Amino acid sequence: MDNLTSKVALVTGGSRGLGREIALGLANEGCDVAVHFNADKQSADAVVDEIKAKGRRAVAIGADLSDPARAAELVRMVGASLGSIDVLVNNAGINPSRTIDQVSGQDWERSLQVNLSPAFHTTQTALPEMRRRKWGRLIFISSIAAQTGGIIGPHYAASKAGLIGLAHYYANALAKEGITANVLAPALIETDMITNNPAIKPTLIPVGRFGQPDEVASVAVNLARNGYITGQTININGGWYMSS
C-alpha cells in the first residue's frame, strides 16, 4: 500500500457529507487537501480548519463546476496553492428527484452539467502532471442508481452511470502509467442529500439502516493507497445491489 504523506488531494463537493468525510480521511493519512465548494464557504472553511488541526495543509476553493472553464481553473488553483494534484476525488453532484412525468430537458442537462461533465474537465486538467510523475489516483463518486436505475430519476441515473464509463476508459488508458481510476457506488448514505425525499427509507436496505459517510470515506482512502485496484466499481450499499 502506498504512503499518502504529503500527497495533494482535491475533493470536489468537499464541504459536507461524503466529500467532507473523504477530505478528512485523506488528511488523516497525511494528504494536503483542497476542499472545493460551490456556495457553502462557511462549511468548507470549517473542514479546512479541521484538516489544519491535523497538521496538514488545506485550502477551500469555490467554483461553479457546471462551467467547464471554472472546473479546469479549479485544478490550476489547487496547483498554485498546494502543488500538483495526486489524488482527485470527483464527488460534487446534485440529486433533484423527478418522476418520469416530471423530469424535463432542463433537469437532464443540469444533471449532466453538474454530475458528469465536471469530472471529465477536472480529470483532463489534472492528468498531465499525474502522467509526468507516473502516479495518480482518480476516484469517482457514482451511485447505486447507475446500476439499478434508482429512485431519483432518469437524469440522475444516467449522469451517475456516465461516471462509471469515464472511469473505465481512464483505467484502461492509464494502467501502465501508475494512475488508477475507480468508482464508488454508494446507496442511501445518511447525508443531507437524502433527507428531503420521502421515498428514501432505511427499510429499502437489507441491513436495515442508512450507511454512514465514514463507511464510504474509508473505502476512498484505501483506493488512494492501493496501486493495484483499477477499473473497479466498489459497491457500498448495505446489500441492496449485489454484483459478481
Rounded Cα distance, 109 and 145, in Å:
17
Pairing of β 32-37 and β 179-186: unpaired
SS3 for 237? coil
Catalytic annotation, residues: 156
Helices 17-28 and 41-53: crossing angle, nearest 10°? 20
Task: State the alpha helices, DSSP H only, in the chain.
Answer: 17-28, 41-53, 68-81, 105-111, 117-133, 145-148, 154-174, 213-225
